[in-house]
Amino acid sequence: MEPSEHLQLPVRLELAPRESGLGFALRALCANGVSFDRGMKWLGLERHRPIDRQTARRIAWALNVDADQWAERVAMRDPGGPGWVRLAGQRFRRQIASNRRYAKLCPQCVREHGVAHVSWLLRATVGCPWHGYSLIWSCQHCGMSIGWDRPDIDICRCGYPFKAVKASPLESGVAAWLCWLESTLCPAAPWAPCGAATERIPSALTHLSIDGAFRVIEAMGLRTGESSSAREALSKCAMPRELGVVIARGLERLHAIEADPENAARYAEGVHHQALVQLAKDYAAEEDYLLAWWLMNAFRSDFDPGGTRAGSRPKGQLPLFLT
């Protein structure tokens, strides 16, 4: 194929609700008889790095899709600082929102709707709130990780259809987290999931960015106790199912602290303190910083984030988040 600035895909598709930019690219290329790998070279889209606005407009034109809508569905460079990207109007650390790594999916969703969700690009998305299963990362037939360079949205690179894959049920409590994430990331999309379930996540999280909420939950649930290593725990939760266990544990602990701040002391030895320190130093929204600051003080850490309008020490219920 010629360089993308000289050609446009003749068969035009429409972006579906909740569809990711990479998922649309795969679908559009397939509809026009172009393989994903060949199409990526033609588009000049390097998945290992976020793209800028000019590149997004050029690629969207070649894909024959609205540029502004498509750019919202891929990881874009964030001007606010290095290491940050924008996706669906939200700020994320690059390791949490990646164009390269996350080709995970819900096999039932891709069979029913034929699209890959934008939320699946997030490390924070470990399952499907519509079907109640963990997302899959590898093919049950060939055992290889799922890649973007596959024949179609619902078919593995080995030619095996994802409909035959048996997925693992979600951990208890994780569905509510996923419902909140989906409704926050794509508030205007139809067929919204399990509305009332979002009321079952800690209320403090609903005031945070998705990036901040996930980093708090992961910090709260990563370690099982004082003897467990954060590095070892991180290495064990690369897959959606294992990370779902961490999210469930983090939600349970934060619920307990929200019910009674005095409970913070009993979880102090099991929290990944350094992750909270990093969040307090580098955050997507001020509310993320404030909750990380409050938790660090509640755990009686040596970390000193400086004075804020939240006060010098935690008092009673979580400040700012319950008003």
* pLDDT tens, position by position, 269-307: 889 999 999 999 999 999 999 999 999 988 875 555 554
Number of neighbours of residue 218 by Cβ within 10 angstroms: 23
Query: Helix, strand, coil % (nearest 5) of the chain?
Result: 45, 10, 45
| CA atoms of 55 and 44, how far apart (whole Å) | 9
pLDDT reading at 26 higher than 90: yes
Mean pLDDT of 248-264: 93
| CA atoms of 309 and 319, how far apart (whole Å) | 10
Question: Do the Cβ atoms of 179 and 124 come closer than 8 Å?
Answer: no
Q: Which residues contact 72 (CB under 8 A, 6 or more apart)?
A: 21, 87, 88, 89
| CA atoms of 241 and 232, how far apart (whole Å) | 16
CA torsion sign for 274, 275, 277, 282 is: positive
pLDDT reading at 312 higher than 60: no
pLDDT reading at 6 higher than 90: no
Q: What is the reported pLDDT for 310? A: 43
- Looking at every residue in the chain, the average pLDDT score rounds to 86
| CA atoms of 322 and 223, how far apart (whole Å) | 27
| CA atoms of 51 and 45, how far apart (whole Å) | 8
Separation in Å, CA 24 to CA 64, 70, 116, 199, 280: 11, 8, 8, 32, 35
Mean pLDDT of 225-240: 74
| CA atoms of 100 and 16, how far apart (whole Å) | 21
Helix H or strand E encompassing 24: helix 21-31
| CA atoms of 70 and 86, how far apart (whole Å) | 13
Residue 108: strand, helix, or coil: helix
Q: What is the reported pLDDT for 88? A: 95
Q: Which residues contact 173 (CB under 8 A, 6 or more apart)?
A: 200, 247, 248, 251, 252
Cross-strand pairs, 86: 76, 91
pLDDT reading at 319 higher than 90: no
* Percent above pLDDT 70 for the chain: 85
pTM for the full predicted model: 0.89
Q: What is the reported pLDDT for 295? A: 93
Give me the amino acid identity at 131: H
Question: Do the Cβ atoms of 204 and 314 come closer than 8 Å?
Answer: no
Q: What is the reported pLDDT for 306? A: 52
Mean pLDDT of 181-203: 77
| CA atoms of 20 and 88, how far apart (whole Å) | 9
pLDDT digits (tens, 9 = 90+) for 28-65: 999 999 999 999 999 998 877 889 999 999 999 999 99
Question: Do the Cβ atoms of 22 and 119 come closer than 8 Å?
Answer: no
Q: What is the reported pLDDT for 126? A: 95
Q: What is the reported pLDDT for 178? A: 95
HSE-up of 197 (CA within 13 Å, CB side)? 19
pLDDT digits (tens, 9 = 90+) for 110-123: 999 999 999 999 99
pLDDT digits (tens, 9 = 90+) for 86-134: 999 999 999 899 766 679 999 999 999 999 999 999 999 999 999 999 9
Mean pLDDT of 198-210: 87
Beta strands per DSSP E along the chain = 76-77, 84-87, 90-93, 127-128, 133-134
Question: Do the Cβ atoms of 61 and 41 come closer than 8 Å?
Answer: no
CA torsion sign for 124, 283, 219, 264 is: negative
Q: What is the reported pLDDT for 199? A: 63
Q: What is the reported pLDDT for 153? A: 95
Mean pLDDT of 230-247: 83
Q: How confident is the model at residue 233 (pLDDT cuts 50, 70, 90)?
A: confident
